[in-house]
Amino acid sequence: MADGFDVIVIGAGPGGYVAAIRAAQLGLNVAVVEREHLGGICLNWGCIPTKALLRSAEVFHLMHRAKEFGLKAEGVGYDLPAVVARSRAVAKQLSGGIGHLMKKNRITVVMGTATLPKPGTVEVKTDKGTETLSAKHIILATGARARELPGLEADGDLVWSYKHALVAKRMPKKLLVIGSGAIGIEFASFFNTLGSDTTVVEVMERIMPVEDAEISAFAKKQFVKQGMKILEKAAVKKLDRKPGQGVTAHIEQGGKVTTQDFDTVISAVGIVGNVEGLGLEALGVKIDRTHVVTDEFCRTGVPGFYAIGDLAGAPWLAHKASHEGVMVSELIAGGHPHPIKPGSIAGCTYCHPQVASVGLTEAKAKEQGYEVKVGRFPFIGNGKAIALGESEGLVKTVFDAKTGELLGAHMVGAEVTELIQGYVVGRQLETTEEDLMNTVFPHPTLSEMMHESVLDAYGRAIHI
């Protein structure tokens, strides 16, 4: 058995590797066990490679608009293998960077699959055999994978999971995307921009169902303008796969089932936590469907075991995983960290136009009994947006009418995934409308719309 560690982290995604670095910074002796790749889904198959693909689509889109900017771009096209190769290279560069960070922080990395035969012990199946490690504290950060619905399972040929879509070998001509959460909409946006005839099917009453209704309606209008077809309150009941030809999808909407042919389907119907095969049940770690149950400090209830990131449930976001990693390591090192406020975790979708939000939607705020004041500011009223040629978008803010607390902020339009952090800081600092109204925003920036939206909630907007 290898020497005892203070902490063993299982899984080197943005939850696990960040937890390991923070624990090492605090003077703990740390090991990380990873079965596949440093950086986890986020760096290798999630956040980063999708953004690299979407950047290619964005540049392609702008090249088509060259004339509008007084420029010439003739014979604009794409080379799919090169687009995919760039995305893979970006992922590889970042995953390699994590290896460097592990070394720099003197973290022991063991490449292999971990199981937990008893408390304090981790067995790792490596290429060379089985290694046994021990530690007082074990942080579970094994992440999640794509959910598979019966009949809609990915086969890598006609029906793709996000992994297949990230290394697409052909451009779909007629694409069906099942599910309009962030993953589904980002792929729909990518392939639609590059010319696939794209249909999105969403079972809920509207696309991007977690977003504010006004924002998702705005985004839908833009997607439809771009040629996307969107079916809401609709479900794909069955896929008839005809190898070498395509798929006939049976789609139910309003009690009626119709069929449509596609050459490619992307299934993006959610994710499930990697809870299996570790031996968690025998240790008494509680699992609710596909995630480990924890308290607000990511403790599982079994002494010495913590669960963070996607494994510990929604929201399935890299920054949530990393923040939990830091919190747990500080807790283990004897610190007194604050639990994360779920309402301060922003969600970003990097489709075209982008969507970003934090806190309560207007509907949720009302449901929770708040009397609200709502501000709105359209991109068309902002000088920088017009200069950029990005005049389609909206910034919406929701305040508690009684206290002036910023309850939520919701945006759709260019660069909103970068802008949202301004409101996140505001919420973290428990900002009120007055602080925001008294803040000076630089000109000309898109951020001025964040100011104007707040001013609008109180009848003081200047540019509308």
Ligand X SMILES: Cc1cc2nc3c(=O)[nH]c(=O)nc-3n(C[C@H](O)[C@H](O)[C@H](O)COP(=O)(O)OP(=O)(O)OC[C@H]3O[C@@H](n4cnc5c(N)ncnc54)[C@H](O)[C@@H]3O)c2cc1C
363's tokens:
């509907």
Beta bridge partners of 231: 201
Q: Quick check: is 352 catalytic?
A: no
Q: How many other CB atoms sit within 10 Å of the CB of residue 437?
A: 14
230's tokens:
């969107």
CB of 141 to ligand X, least distance (A): 5
CB of 204 to ligand X, least distance (A): 19
Among 21, 24, 28, 40, binds ligand X (CB under 6 A): 40
Among 2, 4, 29, 36, binds ligand X (CB under 6 A): 36
Among 50, 180, 189, 300, binds ligand X (CB under 6 A): 50
CB of 144 to ligand X, least distance (A): 6
Question: Where in 52-111 is the site for ligand X (CB under 6 A)?
Answer: none
Distance CA 30, CA 98 (A): 15
Stretch near ligand X under the rule CB under 6 A, chosen from 91-99, 317-325, 385-393, 450-458: 317-325
Which H or E element spans position 53? Answer: helix 47-64
Q: Which of 291, 443, 451, 463 is catalytic?
A: 443
Q: Where are the alpha helices (DSSP H) in 120-181?
A: 162-166
Closest residue by Cα to residue 32 from 3, 9, 7: 9
Cβ atoms of residues 21 and 107 within 8 Å: yes
The contacts of residue 363 (CB under 8 Å, 6+ apart) are: 212, 213
Distance CA 330, CA 25 (A): 10
Show the binding pattern over residues 2-31: x = contacts ligand X (CB under 6 A), - = does not: --------xxxxxxx---------------
Q: Is 334 exposed, middle or buried (0-12, 13-18, 19+ CB in 10 A)?
A: exposed
State yes or no: 284 annotated in a binding site. no
The site for ligand X, by CB under 6 A, has a size of 37
Distance CA 293, CA 120 (A): 19
Which H or E element spans position 81? Answer: helix 80-104
Among 316, 370, 377, 423, binds ligand X (CB under 6 A): 316
Q: What is the 3-state secondary structure (H, E, C) of 425-456?
A: HHHHCCCEHHHHHHCCCCCCCCCHHHHHHHHH
State yes or no: 364 annotated in a binding site. no
| Biggest CA-to-CA distance, the chain | 69
State yes or no: 148 annotated in a binding site. no
CB of 9 to ligand X, least distance (A): 9
CB of 272 to ligand X, least distance (A): 11
35 touching ligand X, by CB under 6 A: yes
State yes or no: 120 annotated in a binding site. no
Show the binding pattern over residues 168-197: x = contacts ligand X (CB under 6 A), - = does not: ---------------x--------------
Cβ closer to ligand X: 98 or 457?
98
Stretch near ligand X under the rule CB under 6 A, chosen from 37-45, 198-206, 250-258, 338-346: 37-45
Distance CA 142, CA 176 (A): 30
Cβ atoms of residues 312 and 292 within 8 Å: yes
Closest residue by Cα to residue 111 from 357, 119, 98: 98
Q: What angle do CA 47, 50, 56 make, to 5 degrees?
A: 140
Among 319, 323, 352, 396, binds ligand X (CB under 6 A): 319
Q: Give the chain's length.
A: 464
State yes or no: 435 annotated in a binding site. no
Among 33, 84, 175, 285, binds ligand X (CB under 6 A): 33
Among 317, 346, 398, 446, binds ligand X (CB under 6 A): 317
Cβ closer to ligand X: 45 or 223?
45
State yes or no: 371 annotated in a binding site. no
Show the binding pattern over residues 105-144: x = contacts ligand X (CB under 6 A), - = does not: --------xx--------------------------xxxx
Among 42, 234, 398, 409, binds ligand X (CB under 6 A): 42
Cβ closer to ligand X: 126 or 368?
126
Cβ closer to ligand X: 31 or 231?
31
183's tokens:
């993953």
Question: Where in 224-283 is the site for ligand X (CB under 6 A)?
Answer: 274, 278
Which H or E element spans position 214? Answer: helix 213-225
The binding site for NAD(+) consists of 179-186, 202, 270
Q: In the complex, which residues of this chain contact ligand X (CB under 6 A)?
A: 10-16, 33-37, 40-42, 45-47, 50, 113-114, 141-144, 162, 183, 274, 278, 309-311, 316-319, 321
Residues forming the active site: 443
